[in-house]
Amino acid sequence: MHLTSRRRGAELEDAILAAGWEVLTEHGYGGFTYEAVAARAGTSRPVLYRRWSQRHDLLQATLRRNWMAQPIAVPDTGDLREDAIGVLRNADTARSHMITTMSVLLLEYFRETGTSFSELRDVLRPPGLATPFERLVARAVERGELTAAPRSSRVVNLPFDLFRHEMFMTLRPVPEETIVEIIDDVWLPLLDRRGS
């Protein structure tokens, strides 16, 4: 019998979380059990329990690993409109499959925990990290493209909210014309009014 070397630390955790994502996408939240993840990772349930005492903790760690493995590139062209459209295009490429998959696979999780996708997103997002649209607006203010008027987080991040809504409603990638419409017809006019 061929024996492999025992995995430890980050190597073992990566294997477990990769296995967790495979189990989740193949079997949904109902099939996302310690037993299934341990078997797929080639380890034991006690190893998982030592790291994540609750199934929800293991799920969040699995989602966080895959969420952060697909970062959204934030362009810096020197033009707010082009950068904003670029962010949504990049989000569509990097996250559309994951967001639609999660919305379908995690219905039972949300029902069981009484939480929402918004609350899960807050758990997955690293604390203190500016959102892509917060970064875009700050850069536009520095360039003088926007005034330094106060803007609520809801206004600044509205493109992502509309983008996610479109994705959840259609369970498909967001078309280019919708991305442009979100930026040109909704967001930029709203920023101008708030900044004037």
pTM of the full structure: 0.80
Per-residue DSSP letter, 187: I
- CATH (residue range 72-195): 1.10.357
Rounded to an integer, what distance in angstroms lies between the CA atom of residue 104 and that of residue 25? 10
Q: In the chain, list all ranges with CATH 1.10.10.60.
A: 9-66
Highest mean pLDDT among 14-28, 106-120, 123-137: 14-28
Query: What rounded mean pLDDT belongs to the chain?
Result: 89
At 185 the pLDDT is 97
Least confident of 37-41, 100-104, 142-146, 150-154: 100-104
Residue spans in the chain of domains classed CATH 1.10.357: 72-195
Q: Is the pLDDT of residue 1 over 70?
A: no
Q: Is the pLDDT of residue 178 over 80?
A: yes
CATH code that applies to domain 9-66: 1.10.10.60
Written as one string, the DSSP assignment of 135-164 is HHHHHHHHHTSS------HHHHTHHHHHHH
- Nearest-angstrom CA–CA distance, 37 and 58: 10
Tell me: the pLDDT tens digits for 68-79?
Answer: 878 889 999 999
